[in-house]
């Protein structure tokens, strides 16, 4: 609570009230918090040296309270306070960062005008006929009965909805939201990425005409975000759909929280307060005593472990709706595929896969090719010398984007036109190395003349509305082969897709990050889940995996669609290695002008932490560079901190983290540092 400032007010202010206050020479918006009178009394009672007089306590006055807005409720403040404490950030930083930026710019008069204008222009939701409710499968009906019983408990337990792709998890979300709305409550539904929000929004809007639905995500304009946040906070919105930041939406009638695709890494914030929206959703449900449903076909191993040990409840859906079939998985050993002639471009697809795609095209079916790397090629190189398209500011390569004729670094954004010749030796025959989705699209068009090929990735969907129009083309059957990154592998209901192929998944098999196999298995399971969703054509659906490691245990589990077996193996490995969920981690990251300065800072932080008794049960690893050691001209280093006890680790972090700003000042050249609690990437 050291980040609290004290001001004087002529009128009592309710905790949770926004207020305009002076700060230095500026006037800023702050938030009235629950007063820490014990700290004030302690400061006032400190002994004064003999012969000196206590300086009078002079408080600067509050300029005005923004009482046009109802105070933020106690459970919201408790969530923010927990977030700040657990993720080692200041209270004010978290509290103000999760509020709409436009809100912090308004005085009371301006805020009152915004609220009045919003209500004057409030258009009633069309109260037409709701979309037809599909009949529940026996599994869905049993799941609903179980979930309803658990939701009626005084303190509903967090629940994992473990269902194969296409098993109707979204319909369960809709039915639970219907029950919450019928009870006069609000429902909060979280999705991992913005591109999943519009389609889910359409389904909820069709099911609940006459109910106000708002979305909260980073693609909104500042004005839209404020308007949607106000609708939620004032209780006007019945349904709130959003990405990770929406977990902090102020909801006075909260009755249900759903976290769709709960395993997705996008729920973890990667800068500022590095919080996990999934974990905070569980904690928020605990505070508000409302049910929290975590849905996934490939749960995170932490969630799966909690469900197996009874900490979370679990409901399972094993069958696809409408008699759809999971695709048969076929592993294609690329070591047995004939190599192309020397100097010819490497083959994107094996001949057997090309033949399988051609048969789908002839039958009017669709194929999805998954390659999780955008651009034309990750590297441009000169075969006559050692030149490669490295980034001058990062320890990575600039990616070749053929359509734009540029080299772009995906870490710092540096870009320049493609050189006409090698900058080192003048060779005119510089060549691309490797393959991205742009190159794959081009090669597929050459291999399948006449086929309608569409690429969907971050480069083709920058313009507003582009993604929606491209997905509409796929759903309408105007596309034969869809090439895409992970954007198209989850949440989409492609009814005509009968073949999915993972083009190059091997790179994640032997990564240093212990979570890499978990992420790869989830991606491949989700990608394969796009095939065979229509029962009329599902029986011949397939997933092909081009790999040089067909005997890998991950692929063996994938062939059987056996997540439980994969999770059991992975958890056993983690337990023997003392990795999460059997231990708890924090990363101390540092960026500096040189690697020596960054490493010296981390070593000094380790020595400082070891001076506390709590460090006796904590393991400190040596400072090491991350996978990309240099970004935007600054060297990056990280130090892993590990402990078997979460409580012990939290006590230690709370003790030495406040000392790190002074330590930074003592190490000139440190640009920034950050503590990442429960890091996803090691």
Q: What is the DSSP string of 266-331?
A: GGB--SSS--BHHHHHHHHHHHHT--EEEEESS--HHHHHHHHHTSSEEEEE-S-GGG--PPEEEE
Task: Give me the pLDDT at residue 462, please.
Answer: 85
Run means of pLDDT, 10 residues per run, the chain, 682 residues: 79 94 92 69 59 73 94 96 95 93 92 84 61 89 95 94 92 96 96 83 90 91 94 96 96 97 94 94 97 97 96 94 85 86 71 95 94 93 93 95 94 93 94 93 94 93 86 92 90 87 88 90 92 73 94 93 95 94 96 95 96 95 94 96 96 95 93 95 81
Read off the tokens for 212: 């106000």
Residues 6 or more apart from 306 whose CB is under 8 A from it? 158, 160, 312, 581
Task: Give me the pLDDT at residue 346, please.
Answer: 62
Half-sphere exposure (Cβ direction) of 452: Cα atoms closer than 13 Å:
12
User: ∠28-32-35 over CA atoms, to 5°?
Assistant: 135
Contact indicator for 176, 147 with CB cutoff of 8 Å: yes
**C-alpha gyration radius of the chain:** 27
Task: Give me the pLDDT at residue 38, please.
Answer: 46
Nearest Cα residue to 31 out of 45, 51, 17? 17
What class does CATH assign to 584-677?
alpha beta
For residue 166, the tally of other CB atoms under 10 A from its CB is 23
Task: Give me the pLDDT at residue 489, please.
Answer: 86
- Match 């005509």 to its residue by tokens: 496
Contact indicator for 295, 491 with CB cutoff of 8 Å: no
What class does CATH assign to 1-67?
alpha beta
Contact indicator for 280, 247 with CB cutoff of 8 Å: yes
CA 658 – CA 177 distance, rounded (Å): 42
Known binding residue 394? Answer is yes
Pairing of strands 239-242, 213-216: parallel
Instruction: Give domain limits for the chain.
Output: 1-67, 138-322, 324-374+440-574, 378-433, 584-677
Query: Any bridge partners for residue 162, and if so which?
Result: 296, 316
CA 614 – CA 592 distance, rounded (Å): 29
Known binding residue 643? Answer is no
In this prediction the pTM is 0.92
Nearest Cα residue to 247 out of 255, 237, 257? 257
CATH H superfamily, domain 138-322: P-loop containing nucleotide triphosphate hydrolases (3.40.50.300)
CA 275 – CA 411 distance, rounded (Å): 22
3-state secondary structure of 358: helix
The answer to whether 138-322 and 324-374+440-574 have equal CATH topology is yes
Burial class (CB in 10 A: 0-12, 13-18, 19+), 393: middle
CA 435 – CA 443 distance, rounded (Å): 10
Give DSSP secondary structure letters for 514-559: TTHHHHHHHHHHHHHTTSS-STTTGGG-EEEEEES-TT-HHHHHHH
- Match 């690329």 to its residue by tokens: 334
Residues 6 or more apart from 339 whose CB is under 8 A from it? 347
CA 643 – CA 612 distance, rounded (Å): 14
Known binding residue 385? Answer is yes
Q: Is 238 left (phi over 0), alpha (psi -120 to 50) or beta?
A: alpha
Read off the tokens for 534: 């229509």
CA 647 – CA 654 distance, rounded (Å): 11
Task: Give me the pLDDT at residue 1, please.
Answer: 41
What class does CATH assign to 324-374+440-574?
alpha beta
Nearest Cα residue to 517 out of 573, 464, 479? 573
Contact indicator for 94, 84 with CB cutoff of 8 Å: yes
Residues 6 or more apart from 106 whose CB is under 8 A from it? 29, 66, 114
3-state secondary structure of 138: helix
Q: Is 285 left (phi over 0), alpha (psi -120 to 50) or beta?
A: alpha
Break the chain down into helix, strand, coil percent, rounded to 5. 35, 20, 45
DSSP type of residue 19: E
């Amino acid at each position: 609570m050291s980040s609290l400032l004290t001001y004087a007010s002529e009128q009592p202010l309710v905790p949770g009230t926004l207020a305009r206050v002076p700060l230095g020479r500026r006037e800023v918006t702050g938030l009235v918090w629950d007063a820490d009178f014990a700290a004030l009394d302690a400061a006032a009672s400190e002994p004064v040296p003999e012969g000196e007089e206590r300086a009078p306590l002079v408080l600067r006055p509050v300029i005005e309270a923004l009482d046009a807005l109802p105070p933020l409720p106690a459970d919201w403040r408790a969530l923010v306070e927990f977030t700040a404490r657990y993720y080692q950030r200041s209270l004010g930083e978290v509290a103000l960062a999760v509020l709409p930026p436009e809100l912090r710019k308004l005085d009371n008069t301006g805020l009152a005008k915004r609220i009045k204008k919003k209500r004057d222009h409030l258009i009633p939701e069309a109260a037409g006929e709701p979309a037809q409710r599909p009949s529940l499968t026996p599994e869905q009906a049993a799941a609903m009965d179980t979930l309803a019983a658990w939701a009626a408990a005084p303190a509903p337990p967090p629940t994992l909805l473990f269902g194969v792709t296409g098993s109707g998890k979204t319909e369960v979300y809709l039915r639970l939201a219907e029950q919450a709305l019928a009870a006069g409550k609000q429902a909060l539904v979280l999705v991992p990425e913005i591109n999943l929000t519009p389609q889910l929004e359409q389904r909820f809007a069709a099911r609940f005409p006459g109910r106000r639905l708002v979305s909260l995500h980073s693609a909104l304009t500042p004005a839209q975000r404020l308007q949607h946040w106000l609708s939620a906070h004032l209780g006007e919105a019945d349904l709130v759909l959003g990405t990770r930041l929406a977990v902090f939406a102020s909801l006075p009638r909260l009755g249900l929280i759903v976290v769709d695709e709960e395993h997705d890494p996008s729920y973890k914030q990667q800068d500022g307060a590095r919080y996990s929206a999934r974990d905070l959703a569980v904690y928020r449900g605990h505070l508000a005593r409302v049910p929290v449903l975590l849905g996934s076909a490939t749960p995170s191993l932490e969630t799966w472990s909690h469900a197996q040990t009874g900490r979370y409840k679990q409901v399972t859906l094993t069958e696809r709706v409408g008699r759809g079939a999971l695709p048969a998985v076929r592993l294609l050993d690329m070591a047995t595929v004939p190599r192309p002639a020397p100097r010819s471009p490497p083959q994107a697809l094996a001949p057997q896969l090309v033949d399988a795609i051609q048969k789908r095209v002839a039958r009017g079916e669709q194929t999805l090719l998954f390659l999780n790397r955008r651009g034309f090629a990750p590297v441009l190189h000169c075969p006559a010398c050692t030149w490669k398209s490295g980034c001058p500011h990062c320890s990575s390569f600039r990616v070749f984007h053929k359509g734009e004729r540029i080299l772009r670094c995906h870490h710092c954004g540096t870009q320049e036109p493609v050189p006409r010749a090698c900058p080192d030796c003048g060779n005119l025959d510089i060549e691309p190395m490797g393959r991205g989705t742009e190159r794959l699209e081009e090669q597929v068009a050459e291999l399948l003349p006449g086929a309608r090929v569409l690429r969907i990735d971050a480069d083709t969907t920058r313009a507003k509305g582009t993604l929606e129009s491209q997905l509409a083309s796929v759903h309408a059957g105007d596309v034969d082969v869809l090439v895409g990154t992970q954007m198209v592998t989850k949440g989409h209901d492609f009814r005509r897709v009968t073949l999915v192929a993972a083009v190059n998944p091997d790179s994640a098999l032997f990564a240093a990050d212990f979570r890499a196999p978990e992420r790869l298995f989830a991606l491949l399971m989700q990608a394969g889940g796009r095939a065979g969703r229509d029962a009329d054509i599902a029986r011949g659906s397939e997933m092909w995996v081009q790999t040089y490691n067909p005997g890998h245990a991950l692929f063996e589990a994938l062939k059987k669609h056996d997540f439980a077996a994969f999770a059991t193996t992975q958890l056993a490995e983690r337990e023997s290695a003392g990795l999460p969920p059997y231990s708890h981690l924090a990363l101390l990251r540092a960026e500096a002008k040189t690697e020596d300065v960054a490493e010296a800072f981390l070593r000094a932080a380790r020595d400082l932490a070891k001076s506390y008794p709590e460090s006796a049960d904590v393991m400190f690893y040596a400072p090491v560079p991350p996978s990309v050691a240099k970004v935007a001209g600054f060297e990056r280093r990280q130090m892993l901190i590990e402990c078997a006890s979460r409580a012990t680790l939290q006590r230690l972090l709370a003790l030495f983290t406040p000392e790190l700003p002074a330590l930074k000042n003592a190490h000139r050249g440190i640009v920034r540092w950050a503590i990442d609690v429960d890091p996803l990437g090691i």
